[in-house]
Each structure stands twice: as C-alpha cells, then as structure tokens.
C-alpha cells in the first residue's frame, strides 16, 4: 500500500481514481472531489477543507481526522466506511451510503446528514443542529448516543437504539420496525404514523406523543407531565410506570399506568374503539 505523508493538496480531483493508499497527516485544501472514485483508502490524522472529498469510494477508514465547515457534503455515494475519533464540522454528511461504522465521532452541525443510508452502526456518537437526521435510512444500530435536532429518523426502517438522549421534535414519523431501549426522548409529536415501534424503559416528554401509531408497544416507560393527549388513533400495548396526564381516543389495545389524569373518549374515536385502559 502506498503511503502519502505530511503533504498538502488543493484544487480539483488531486487524488482521483487512486486505490490502496494511506494518507497520514495530509491536508486537503479548498477545491472539489479530492478523493473521488477511489477504493481501499486509509486517512489518519488528516484535515479536510475542500468540498466533496470522498465521493464514490469503496472501502475506506478515517481516523483522528477533522472535516472543517468547508468540507461540506464530504461523503456521498460510497460504501464500507469506518470512521473513528473524528470531528466533523461540515454539514450534509453521509448520503446514499451503504455500510457506515462511526465510533467516538462528533458532528456539531449535522444538518441534512445520514440521508438514504443503509447498514449504519453508531457507537459513542454526538450530533447537534441535526434537523432531518437519518431521513429515509434503514438497518441502523445505535448505542451510547446524544442528539439535538428535530424531525429525526423520518421514514426509517429497522432501527435499534440503546442508551440514547434524543432531543428532537417530530422524531420517528412514518418509521417501521424501530426499537428504543433505556433512552430519554424529549420532543413533541413523537412517532406519529409509525408502525411497529417498541419503547423499552424509556422516559418520554412532549405534548401529543405516539398518535396514529400502528402496533405500538411501551414496556415500563415513564411519561413526563407534558405528555398530554397521548395515543390518539393508535393501536397500542403499553405498561407505563408513571402518571399519565391525559389519553385521547386510542383505537385498540391495552394501556396500564400508575394513574391517569384524564381519559378522553368522544364521538371522534375510530373503530374498533375498544382499548382497555386501567390503572394500578
């Protein structure tokens, strides 16, 4: 494998089409598509400043690197990425990718990031300013994760999340087959129009959560006082280890809670309208 060390590149496509290459302490200055149409690339201790550095790359490792704000849209249409101990300051990262493993990565400006990606593993990752994160992605495995940003995980499929802190309005809309364990989810209108969402030992806050959901399951979850008007038009099986402020017009299933402030069943309930609601 060729090694390029302590070098600087700029302009258009300086390393286009290369393969079996290790970059050590390399700086990619302003320009476009520095490492495009490449394969088997290792980047260690590098700095990326130019746009679109990794497009159409197959098989690459990025360790101890920095993507500055200028390196926007840095990783698109690529496969088989491992990224470790890296700071990503650039927005619009990771699009149309298959096979992503991120470990100890921070993305403080994660706008429009991780769209249309498949087979994603995150460990010890922190993101902020992350509106619309993970749009239309699938096969996602997350552990030890912190997120700030709204509308996340919309239209995702096959997701498992553990030990997370999610501050995100309108999360999990239109998702299918999502399970969240031992996490804190803060944000109104949680998981509307979802299918097969399972929440296990989670703490949930925000108004009107979990409405229009199909096959919703809650196991030993806690709902904060601002979780009012919950479960409207949902099919649900729930055990809630807290007081619930209010429940409105669930379609069917069973809900058990420590106590409930108000149950609203009115003329607008949808069939079958036979949800059993009980308290301890």
pLDDT digits (tens, 9 = 90+) for 215-244: 999 999 999 999 999 999 999 999 999 999
Confidence label for 1 from pLDDT (cuts 50, 70 and 90): confident
Question: Across the strands, what pairs with 4?
Answer: 23
Cα angle value 116/120/125 (rounded, 5°): 110
Across the range 29-56, mean pLDDT stands at 94
Identify the weakest region by mean pLDDT among 26-35, 114-123, 194-203.
26-35
Conformational region of residue 208, where left means phi above 0, alpha means psi within -120 to 50, and beta covers everything else: left
Q: What is the mean pLDDT of the chain?
A: 96
- Read off φ and ψ for residue 51, nearest 5 degrees: -75, 150
C-alpha–C-alpha distance, residues 143 and 141, integer Å: 7
Rounded distance between C-alpha atoms, residue 79 and residue 90, angstroms: 20
pLDDT of 280 reads: 84
- Span 75-87, mean pLDDT? 97
pLDDT in tens, 154-187: 999 999 999 999 999 999 999 999 999 999 999 9
Long-range contacts for 88-97 (Cβ within 8 Å, ≥24 apart)? 90/48, 91/129, 93/67
Task: Report pTM.
Answer: 0.95
pLDDT digits (tens, 9 = 90+) for 37-49: 999 999 999 999 9
């Amino acid at each position: 494998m060729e090694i390029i060390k302590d070098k600087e590149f700029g302009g258009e496509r300086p390393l286009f089409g290369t393969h079996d290459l290790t970059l050590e302490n390399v700086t990619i200055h302003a320009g476009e598509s520095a490492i495009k149409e490449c394969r088997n690339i290792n980047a260690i201790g590098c700095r990326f400043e130019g746009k679109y550095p990794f497009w159409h790359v197959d098989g690459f490792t990025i360790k101890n690197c920095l993507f500055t704000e200028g390196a926007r849209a840095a990783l698109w249409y690529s496969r088989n990425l491992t990224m470790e101990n890296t700071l990503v300051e650039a927005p619009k990262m990771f699009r149309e990718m298959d096979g992503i493993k991120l470990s100890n990565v921070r993305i403080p400006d994660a706008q429009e990031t991780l769209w249309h990606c498949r087979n994603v593993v995150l460990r010890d990752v922190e993101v902020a300013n992350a509106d619309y994160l993970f749009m239309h992605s699938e096969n996602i495995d997350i552990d030890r994760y912190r997120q700030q940003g709204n509308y996340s995980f919309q239209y995702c499929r096959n997701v498992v999340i553990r030990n997370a802190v999610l501050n995100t309005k309108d999360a999990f809309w239109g998702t299918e087959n999502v399970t969240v364990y031992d996490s804190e989810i803060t944000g109104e209108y949680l998981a509307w129009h979802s299918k097969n969402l399972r929440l296990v030992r989670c703490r949930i806050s925000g108004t009107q959560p979990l409405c229009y959901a199909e096959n919703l399951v809650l196991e030993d979850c806690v709902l904060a006082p601002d979780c009012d008007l919950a479960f409207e038009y949902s099919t649900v099986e729930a055990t809630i280890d807290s007081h619930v402020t209010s429940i409105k017009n669930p379609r069917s299933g069973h809900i058990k809670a420590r106590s409930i402030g108000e149950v609203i069943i009115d003329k607008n309930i949808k069939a079958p309208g036979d949800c059993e609601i009980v308290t301890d």
